[in-house]
């Protein structure tokens, strides 16, 4: 845990870096734009399906139902954003992973040779794969949440911590090694990487705070890749 906290602290100390700020602002803008678009689409569907005035038994004509449902959808969207922000914010930040990792390495590991560029297509493919994986896992977890009771936060953090740790660590590691070597390094340190993923997943469940966590997560895993032994034990 000491290594994880040290990596997170180093990432937090670089928040003022201009390249961090650019990625953070871009990620926040894209994420909020998507959430607003989803909300607007939901309100549009409600107003299309629900008439302005509805005849209810015993009450007669009742107006404003579509407005009430639209207002209620604000609360629903705020609740849903807790779960949507995990795949959405992480996928958007995945598009900017290279910039964040470069900023970390330039400041903390300047003697390193140039990394293997992931390329735009590879970055987009990784972001989409990550988005689908996290979204699918959370949809499956939704089926288990009614049975989890007070352990719902632990389920949320555990599932997403595992996925975030595995995917971000592998993506960052592939800048310095091929995919099989990155996968072997992950397997050799999976418990520690899972712990780092949980540290990232926990604040992702907090509205507004979750907007900045993906950038810090990329930076944290960049430090972790360089501070772990580079060979998996045989």
In whole angstroms, how far apart are CA 75 and each of 21, 41, 82? 30, 15, 12
pLDDT score of 233: 42
Residue 117 lies in a domain: yes
pLDDT value, residue 225: 93
Q: Would 129 be classed as within a structural domain?
A: yes
Q: What is the pLDDT of residue 61?
A: 45
Question: What pLDDT shows up at residue 232?
Answer: 47
Which of 66-70, 109-113, 199-203 has the largest mean confidence?
Answer: 109-113
The values of phi and psi at residue 54, to 5°, are -130, 135
CA distance 148 to 142: 10
110's tokens: 């300047």
Q: d(Cα 108, Cα 14) in Å, to the nearest integer?
A: 10
Could you give the angle at which helices 18-49 and 97-108 cross, rounded to 10 degrees?
160
* Domain total in the chain: 1
Tens-place pLDDT, residues 184-219: 999 999 999 999 989 888 887 776 777 788 888 889
User: Is residue 234 assigned to a domain?
Assistant: no
Range of the domain at 61: 2-227
Identify whether 88 is part of a domain.
yes
Domain contains 160: yes
Of 39, 45, 123, 47, give the one whose Cα is nearest residue 84. Answer: 39
- pLDDT tier at 220, thresholds 50, 70, 90: very high
Q: How far apart are CA 147 and CA 203, in angstroms?
A: 23
Range in 4-13, 16-25, 201-210 with the lowest mean pLDDT: 201-210
In a domain, 194, yes or no: yes
What is d(CA 5, CA 147) in angstroms, rounded to the nearest whole number?
32
- The backbone torsions φ and ψ at residue 205, rounded to the nearest 5 degrees and listed phi first, read -85, 0
- Whether residue 223 is predicted with pLDDT greater than 90 in this model: the reply is yes
The span from the CA of 99 to the CA of 92, in Å, is 13
Whether pLDDT at 25 is above 70: yes
Task: Evaluate whether residue 232 is within a structural domain.
Answer: no
226 touches 38 (CB < 8 A): no
pTM: 0.74
Tokens of 29: 């803008």
74 lies in a domain? Answer: yes
Strand segments, DSSP code E, in 111-228 are: none
Identify which has the larger pLDDT, 3 or 133: 3
- Residue 95 in tokens: 């598009």
> CA dihedral defined by 205, 45, 73, 65, rounded to 10 degrees?
-170
CB 210 within 8 A of CB 85: yes
Residue 62: which pLDDT band, with cuts at 50, 70 and 90? very low
């Amino acid at each position: 845990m000491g290594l994880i906290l040290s990596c997170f602290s180093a990432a937090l100390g670089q928040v003022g870096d201009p390249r961090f700020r650019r990625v953070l602002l871009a990620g926040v803008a894209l994420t909020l734009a998507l959430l607003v678009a989803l909300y607007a689409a939901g309100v549009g569907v409600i107003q299309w399906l629900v008439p302005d005035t509805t005849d209810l038994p015993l009450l007669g004509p009742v107006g404003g139902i579509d407005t009430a449902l639209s207002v209620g959808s604000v609360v629903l969207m705020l609740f849903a954003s807790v779960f949507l922000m995990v795949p959405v914010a992480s996928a958007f930040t995945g598009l900017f992973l290279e910039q964040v990792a470069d900023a970390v390495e330039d400041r903390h590991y300047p003697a390193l040779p140039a990394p293997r560029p992931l390329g735009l297509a590879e970055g987009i493919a990784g972001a989409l794969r990550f988005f689908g994986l996290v979204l699918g896992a959370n949809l499956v977890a939704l089926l288990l949440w009614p049975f989890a009771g007070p352990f719902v936060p632990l389920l949320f953090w555990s599932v997403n911590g595992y996925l975030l740790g595995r995917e971000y660590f592998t993506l960052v590691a592939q800048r310095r090694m091929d995919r099989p070597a990155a996968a072997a390094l992950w397997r050799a340190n999976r418990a520690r990487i899972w712990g780092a993923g949980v540290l990232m997943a926990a604040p992702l469940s907090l509205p507004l705070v979750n907007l900045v966590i993906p950038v810090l997560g990329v930076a944290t895993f960049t430090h972790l890749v360089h501070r772990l032994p580079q060979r998996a034990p045989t």
